[in-house]
Amino acid sequence: MLYYLFSWLHQQRYPGTGVFQYISFRSAAAFVLALFIAIFVGKYFIGFLKRKQIGESVRELGLAGQSEKAGTPTMGGIIIIAAILIPVLLLCELTNIYIILMIFTTIWLGLLGFSDDYIKVFKKNKEGLSPRKKLIGQILLGLVVGSVMYFHPDAVICEKTSPKQQVTEASANDLLQIENQENAHSPRLFDEPHHSSKTTIPFFKNHELDYAGLTRWLGDETGKWSFLFFIPIIVFIIAAVSNGANLTDGLDGLATGTTASVAVGIALLAYVSGNVIFASYLNIMYIPNIGELVIFISAVIGACIGFYWWNCYPAQVFMGDTGSLTLGGIVAVSCIIIRKELLIPILCGIYLAQSVSVIMQVSYFKYTKKKYGEGRRIFLMAPLHHHFQKKGLHESKIVQRFIVVSMMLAVLTLVTLKIR
């Protein structure tokens, strides 16, 4: 709302109001506001949860310090969602299709996760929402996101007029003058905006994966039916990443810390993808109007760091599925929007490791039980963070090391823009 107010004031030539036209300023403001909400407003919400005795019922798994967590306030994901949505509603251009999609994702998965937490806390059912119902909710979201990205007239990209065309050193001086030109279109560097089902392939220059190519074996030379492959792939990505974040939420501060690192990587990728100079210099596709996503992700970073203030060891509040499913969905959808979903295995390596460890553990247990009559395990316990707990590492040390690895993976993801 403030964006529109200050845009009007700028049109009336009030001095200083033009600062709201800058993506960088609004991103910084979104980060600070989200951080403030998560820390200071979150404090009162945690007190409310304690008074209402909305606490976590922890199952005994034989892990050190686990019994001490029983009764810790949960549903703290509401703090994260509020800390994201309030800055976004105040500072973003709300008619932007990508912002609409991200707000929908946040609310949809927030409600899905809240339903799970509500059943656990108020219905006293430790299993919560059934996995099938969760998956149905994620699939429905994937169908919406996939359909919007494929069919909506504003979901377009621009490709370079010549694959060999690069920004010269002389044009680097232009970087000082493009602060508020993230959404500008330069026909010298890129072709006209158009619909495309292309996405970036890591480590390959001048080559993108076009989902339309997946239907050519059907005689579909124009890619008319490529949505039959594109949308299911989007559904899979959203479900996989959302569940990966959910599995990562098992130690104090683990999900928030790793997600903050991931979000920083996404914000930088979104910024360079929405800037004609940077996109041309890095030889990546330019995505018009994607700059607003940087503001949204900045709010996510602020919300995660602010929530980490209360969620670090020993946690004073848990995010629950309300937060973990939401954060995972935000990460997945934002990567899809910036056409970098193939970078998810690198950027979200922690999520991937957690999910793979569970899949390996369950599969191997079932296989050995069928073959030898008794189930055997690869890890001492899955997900992976519990394996290290069983090995005797302190919870806080595991979390800090996972966060460091997540930071390294985020840097590696950014490096792929140049190592091609």
- At residue 58, the pLDDT reads 60
CA–CA distance, 128 with 135 (Å, rounded to integer):
13
Q: Which residues lie closer than 8 Å to 12 by C-beta, 6 or more apart?
A: none
Query: What is the number of domains present in the chain?
Result: 1
Place of tokens 């840097």: 411
Judged on CB neighbours under 10 Å (0-12, 13-18, 19+), 253 is buried
pTM: 0.91
- At residue 184, the pLDDT reads 47
- At residue 191, the pLDDT reads 79
- At residue 72, the pLDDT reads 87
- Is 345 within the bounds of a domain? yes
Handedness of CA 92, 94, 96, 97 (dihedral sign): positive
Q: What is the pLDDT along the chain (420 residues), one digit of tens a residue?
A: 788 888 888 888 888 888 888 999 999 999 999 999 999 999 999 999 988 888 766 655 556 556 667 778 989 999 999 999 999 999 999 999 999 999 999 999 999 999 999 998 888 888 889 999 999 999 999 999 999 999 999 999 988 765 444 444 434 444 444 444 444 444 467 878 888 888 988 888 777 888 888 887 777 777 788 888 999 999 999 999 999 999 999 899 999 999 999 999 999 999 999 998 888 888 888 999 999 999 999 999 999 999 999 999 999 999 999 999 999 999 999 999 999 999 999 999 999 999 999 999 999 999 999 988 888 999 999 999 999 999 999 999 999 999 999 999 999 999 998 887
- At residue 63, the pLDDT reads 67
CA–CA distance, 73 with 396 (Å, rounded to integer):
19
As beta bridge partners, residue 385 has none
* Helices 97-122 & 291-311 angle (0-180, nearest 10): 20
CA–CA distance, 338 with 182 (Å, rounded to integer):
14
- Is 378 within the bounds of a domain? yes
- Is 420 within the bounds of a domain? no
- Is 160 within the bounds of a domain? yes
Question: Which residue segment(s) compose the domain that 347 sits in?
Answer: 2-56+69-415
Which whole-number Å values give the CA distances from 342 to 115, 135, 272, 330, 339, in the listed order? 31, 22, 17, 16, 8
